[in-house]
Amino acid sequence: MAEEKFTKEETLAMRLRLIGQSCRLFYKEDPVKIVRARGQYLFDENGKRYLDCISNVQHVGHCHPTVTKAAAAQMDLLNINSRFLNDNIVLYAARLAATLPEKLCVFYFVNSGSEANDLALRLAQQYTQNQDVVVLDHAYHGHLMSLIDISPYKFRKLAGQKDWVHVAPLPDIYRGIYREDHPNPGQAYADTVKDLIEEIHRKGRKISAFFAESLPSVGGQILLPQGYSNKVAEYVRSAGGVFVADEVQTGFGRVGSHFWGFQLQGENFCPDIVTMGKPMGNGHPVACVATTAEIAEAFTANGVEYFNTFGGNPVSCAIGLAVLDVIEEEDLRGNALRVGEHLQVLLKKLQARHEVIGDVRVAGLFAGVELVTDRQKRTPATNLAALVVKRLKEEDRICMSTDGPWDNVLKFKPPMCFSVEDADLVVTCMDRILSDNKASHLKLENEDS
């Protein structure tokens, strides 16, 4: 049992006093204090166990012994900046290269997804000598100022849209402008990017990059329609820009069938830049940008050194290597595929029983359940989604969260050791809560009549 330094109430009071209040807590009405974790389980100060459906960062499971041992051993041996020659950084780059298409063969190590995307922006602008960026609606690419500028999810609430940033419709076939009944939504959504690029040209501007998450997450756990990325890449490249795939949430086997989310778009699709972060270090801050030799050469040609104090240090790389080992040794990609398929079957059955489930979207252990108050109008059921999250935590000790522009999408992004039994439990509990909700609505309707 981990030793507590403060009672839960003391910790909360100190947090309110000392930590900036824009750094929000999960369950702010009644936060959970977590003192240790293992696998897919979190333990509170009373030793109570919670099932974690939230922590995609702790990719191979919380505090995985292979990872913690590798970290401790390397910390005991050497940690130094990457200007000294050391094996770990090259070994790690080579292991990452083996997971990617051959063309993505140059790596820059950084400390967070935000740093990776900021560097991707610099690489794209330096290589193309253009400034403008096309992003998807509702996207989030990080907390640096450069990334707030290209994140509609944030800039809409802040300084607004910059003239060099252009927003393309989110290719959401459930709620977007082209839906599941469209004969070719991939092409239709890609054409919106083509139109946008033409509009940018009419303004006398040129694009450097198209940025997109391989599966938009804060946009509502969206699966891109087939053919979309290839077509967009064609339009973007012919306009002189590059395609940046933000894999900060979706890489490292999360989608099960493939190692990278962008690979869901087919064998022949390859981005020009891939950014990665969250799951790489299982909680340790390590992130990376992978790109082509041509883009890297253009970046080198500006003559300015790229130095990142902590990026690619031997400890971060040892941890990253251990994470890759565990993914392989425990076949976590296979697990994501199998458990994801099982979860999809269960959720589809649940959808058949509950009108409030408008859509179910699953790719491995990346899943979204969209709740609506009206299936025809697809009206977001934001309050119900919040209620489900609250009751799962309070009654079942299951941690889940919501996403999407209306916060009505229940999202699953658990550690990759999430099991079939865990999926069974969560769906059984969701069923109970949604049934209660239906019963209370029926009661209200009967009382009305």
The answer to whether 370 and 220 have CB atoms below 8 angstroms apart is: yes
* Min dist. Cβ of residue 9 to ligand PLP (A): 29
* Min dist. Cβ of residue 164 to ligand PLP (A): 19
Place of tokens 């990376």: 288
Q: Which residue is nearest to ligand PLP (CB)?
A: 113
Among 55, 229, 249, 282, which residue interacts with ligand PLP (rule: CB under 6 A)? 249
> How far is the C-alpha of 317 from the C-alpha of 323, rounded, in Å?
10
Inter-CA distances, 216 with 102, 170, 211, 224, 304, Å: 25, 8, 11, 8, 33
* Min dist. Cβ of residue 321 to ligand PLP (A): 20
**Which residues are CB-contacts of 147 (< 8 A; sequence separation ≥ 6)?**
114, 117, 118, 121, 141
Among 125, 217, 402, 408, which residue interacts with ligand PLP (rule: CB under 6 A)? 217
Which amino acid type is present at position 34? I
142 binds ligand PLP (CB under 6 A): yes
C-alpha neighbours within 13 Å on the C-beta side of residue 333: 18
* Min dist. Cβ of residue 115 to ligand PLP (A): 7
| Listed ranges 48-56, 166-174, 244-252, 302-310: which one lies at the site for ligand PLP (CB under 6 A) | 244-252
Measured CA angle at 302 (ends 299, 308), to 5 deg: 60
* Min dist. Cβ of residue 311 to ligand PLP (A): 13
**What is the torsional sign of CA 432, 434, 439, 440?**
positive
Among 52, 118, 172, 213, which residue interacts with ligand PLP (rule: CB under 6 A)? 213
**Which residues are CB-contacts of 390 (< 8 A; sequence separation ≥ 6)?**
27
Which residues does residue 109 pair with via DSSP β-bridges, in sequence order? Answer: 288
Kindly report the number of other CB atoms within 10 A of residue 202's CB atom. 8
C-alpha neighbours within 13 Å on the C-beta side of residue 109: 26
* Min dist. Cβ of residue 22 to ligand PLP (A): 14
Q: Whose Cβ is closer to ligand PLP: residue 100's or residue 289's?
A: 289
| Listed ranges 89-97, 126-134, 176-184, 246-254: which one lies at the site for ligand PLP (CB under 6 A) | 246-254
- The contact mask relative to ligand PLP for 26-55 (x = CB under 6 A, - = no) is ------------------------------
| Residue 418 token pair | 């999430």
Strand arrangement of the beta sheet that strand 165-168 belongs to:
106-110, 287-291, 273-276, 242-246, 207-213, 132-136, 165-168
| Residue 438 token pair | 């239906």
Among 59, 62, 138, 141, which residue interacts with ligand PLP (rule: CB under 6 A)? 141
> How far is the C-alpha of 426 from the C-alpha of 52, rounded, in Å?
10
- The contact mask relative to ligand PLP for 98-137 (x = CB under 6 A, - = no) is --------------xxx--x--------------------
Q: Whose Cβ is closer to ligand PLP: residue 40's or residue 114's?
A: 114
> How far is the C-alpha of 389 from the C-alpha of 386, rounded, in Å?
5
261: DSSP letter: G
Q: Whose Cβ is closer to ligand PLP: residue 277's or residue 364's?
A: 277
Nearest CA-CA partner of 65 in 325, 311, 251, 422:
325
Within 269-288, the residues that bind ligand PLP by CB under 6 A are 277
Among 118, 132, 149, 246, which residue interacts with ligand PLP (rule: CB under 6 A)? 246
Question: Parallel, antiparallel, or unpaired: how do β-strands 409-412 and 41-44 relate?
Answer: unpaired
Q: Whose Cβ is closer to ligand PLP: residue 142's or residue 176's?
A: 142
Q: Whose Cβ is closer to ligand PLP: residue 39's or residue 142's?
A: 142
| Listed ranges 41-49, 81-89, 141-149, 357-365: which one lies at the site for ligand PLP (CB under 6 A) | 141-149
**Which residues are CB-contacts of 65 (< 8 A; sequence separation ≥ 6)?**
none
* Min dist. Cβ of residue 143 to ligand PLP (A): 6
* Min dist. Cβ of residue 411 to ligand PLP (A): 12
* Min dist. Cβ of residue 71 to ligand PLP (A): 18
| Listed ranges 120-128, 138-146, 306-314, 319-327: which one lies at the site for ligand PLP (CB under 6 A) | 138-146
161: DSSP letter: -
* Min dist. Cβ of residue 212 to ligand PLP (A): 9
* Min dist. Cβ of residue 331 to ligand PLP (A): 26
The answer to whether 354 and 438 have CB atoms below 8 angstroms apart is: yes
Judged by the rule CB under 6 A, the positions of this chain that interact with ligand PLP are 112-114, 117, 140-143, 213, 217, 246, 248-249, 277
